Amino acid sequence: MFCKWKTSQNQYGNSMKRNFLLLFFLSVLLQINIYSQQSAAPERIILNLTENPSREIAVTWRTEQQFTNSEIQFAQSTSWIEFKNNVIKVPAIEENFMTDDGKAVYHYSAILKNLQPKTNYLYRVGHDSIWSEWNQFTTASNENIPFKFLFIGDPQNDIKEHCSRVFRQAYKTAPDAALLLFTGDLVTNTSDILWSEFFDAGGFIFRTIPSILTPGNHEHKLVKVDGKFQRSKILDPSWNVHFTLPENGPKEFKESSYYVDYQGVRFIILNSHYNVKEQAVWVEKVLQNNSNKWTVAAFHVPIYSMGSGRDSKVTREPLMPLFDKYGVDLVLTGHDHAYGRSKKIYGGKVVPDSSKGTVYVVSVSGPKMYALNPLYKDLMAKTAANVSLFQVIYVEKNQLKYQSFTADGNLFDTFFLTK
């Protein structure tokens, strides 16, 4: 009797072991399948403006596995799913990339062309049976009709923790913004993990509102000189693979200096990290040949530094005389981790609002802050430290309305330019 019970107990034990091993094996298989689906899924999807925003848009994304048949599918939007009968397929250009932590990844991009102005489109990216969601965007009008855009200064640090809410509050404040403008130092270093935080913080906003961006010093490569690390003139290669930006600027500054005309505004985007003097030659040509009503210049290093102990002659000396001469309306910058909005300035002096002149802005969206620089306080209409901000700029027929908001959505600063 005892032996029989013992045998049955052994059999029960063996069967439990078999079931346990089977379950373990199935769970490993499931994990492998989930991982492989995840690493095959398109991520870091972003829309960028091209130099022809009423007829084109650029789309960029990446996967952790290689898919040579990656493509974009797009169609004009419809109220139901019938747009799927009119889908156009565009094969993606692939760029292989090695991340800072030694992972091989695959970036894809394509420019959608021959679009209709002021029209809603849907697109998705992917391959085989693995696709992103359908995302909707609107092309620019080919007429100078009013629009608004978002301007966001340095996110840079603790992006997931602290910048996510700033990007999202910006979207809540202006969900119909036509474009997002970032003025550099998106990430404090170009590690894959920080890029991941940046794209997670932007989420679907980056997939539905096109961005134009300029790199800051922190998107340039660190090199060791005399035993010390310093920022080189080399734009980190992670910049060009993550974004597809216009290439109509100086040759040396592919996708970091360029211009875009959007419904009566010429946006001149510069890489202020090096050779600004050389870029100024190109800037003058772009300003000479400009029939837009408004001109906005955007770059990283400010004309009037707001950060304690700083004074950026590197941008002021070559660029400010051109801004005066050609009547640039607004200059948007970052870098100083503080806020400063000037009065109207011409020739380095404050002028009446009705005179020809330029307004200079430094802003910051992330949590890193510097003490305020008193050097240019007499030129400033509003300054602040220790406040994370975003800006909504309304371009209207004869007026440009600027509003800066705190991270918690309160109006912080406002002014108007009229023409």
* Number of residues binding to Fe ion, judged by CB under 5 A: 6
Identify residue 149 by its one-letter amino acid code: F
Nearer to Fe ion, 110 or 372 (CB): 372
Q: Which stretch binds Fe ion (CB under 5 A): 22-30, 103-111, 155-163, 378-386?
A: 155-163
Nearer to Fe ion, 185 or 197 (CB): 185
Minimum distance, C-beta of residue 183 to Fe ion, in the bound complex (Å): 9
Q: Interaction with Fe ion in 386-405: which residues (CB under 5 A)?
A: none
Q: Which stretch binds Fe ion (CB under 5 A): 128-136, 154-162, 222-230, 274-282?
A: 154-162
Looking at residue 158, the DSSP 8-state letter turns out to be: S
- Residues whose CB falls within 8 Å of the CB of residue 351, separated by 6 or more in sequence, listed in order: 344, 345, 357
Give Cα 413 distance to the centre of its chain. Answer: 23
Minimum distance, C-beta of residue 372 to Fe ion, in the bound complex (Å): 15
Nearer to Fe ion, 236 or 329 (CB): 236
Task: Classify 54 in phi/psi space as left (phi over 0), alpha (psi -120 to 50) or beta.
Answer: alpha
Minimum distance, C-beta of residue 216 to Fe ion, in the bound complex (Å): 4
Give Cα 113 distance to the centre of its chain. Answer: 21
User: Which residue in the set 154, 219, 236, 255 belongs to the binding site for Fe ion (CB under 5 A)?
Assistant: 154
User: Which residue in the set 44, 61, 152, 185 belongs to the binding site for Fe ion (CB under 5 A)?
Assistant: 185
Asked whether position 273 contacts Fe ion by CB under 5 A, the answer is no
Q: Which stretch binds Fe ion (CB under 5 A): 163-171, 179-187, 312-320, 379-387?
A: 179-187
Q: For the chain, how big is the Rg over CA atoms in Å?
A: 25
Q: Which stretch binds Fe ion (CB under 5 A): 36-44, 83-91, 165-173, 330-338?
A: 330-338
Nearer to Fe ion, 42 or 153 (CB): 153
Exposed e or buried b for every residue in 343-372, given b needs 16+ CB within 10 A? bbbbeeebeeeeeebbbbbbbbbbbebbeb
Burial of 102 (0-12, 13-18, 19+ CB in 10 A): exposed
Nearer to Fe ion, 197 or 261 (CB): 197
Nearer to Fe ion, 207 or 335 (CB): 335
Minimum distance, C-beta of residue 337 to Fe ion, in the bound complex (Å): 6
Q: Which tokens hold the place of 207? A: 């997939």
The H or E element containing residue 18 is helix 2-40
Cα–Cα dist 391/350, whole Å: 23
Residue nearest to Fe ion according to CB distances in the complex: 185
Asked whether position 308 contacts Fe ion by CB under 5 A, the answer is no
- Residues whose CB falls within 8 Å of the CB of residue 106, separated by 6 or more in sequence, listed in order: 62, 63, 64, 65, 66, 67, 70, 94, 95, 96, 97
- Residue 263's nearest CA partner among 408, 49, 18, 77 is 49
The Cα-based distances of 288 to 107, 213, 278, 291, 367 in angstroms read: 37, 23, 16, 9, 39
Nearer to Fe ion, 336 or 413 (CB): 336
Nearer to Fe ion, 154 or 255 (CB): 154
Q: Which stretch binds Fe ion (CB under 5 A): 227-235, 243-251, 317-325, 328-336?
A: 328-336
Nearer to Fe ion, 219 or 413 (CB): 219
Nearer to Fe ion, 335 or 344 (CB): 335
Cα–Cα dist 46/139, whole Å: 15
- Residue 359's nearest CA partner among 338, 348, 375, 345 is 345
The three-state DSSP-derived secondary structure of 81-98 is HHHHHHCEEEECEEEEEE
271 SS3 class? coil
Q: Interaction with Fe ion in 202-261: which residues (CB under 5 A)?
A: 216-217
Minimum distance, C-beta of residue 153 to Fe ion, in the bound complex (Å): 8
- Residue 300's nearest CA partner among 279, 286, 321, 324 is 279
Asked whether position 335 contacts Fe ion by CB under 5 A, the answer is yes
Q: Which stretch binds Fe ion (CB under 5 A): 32-40, 72-80, 121-129, 146-154?
A: 146-154
Minimum distance, C-beta of residue 123 to Fe ion, in the bound complex (Å): 32
Minimum distance, C-beta of residue 320 to Fe ion, in the bound complex (Å): 19
Q: Which residues bind Fe ion (CB under 5 A)?
A: 154, 156, 185, 216-217, 335
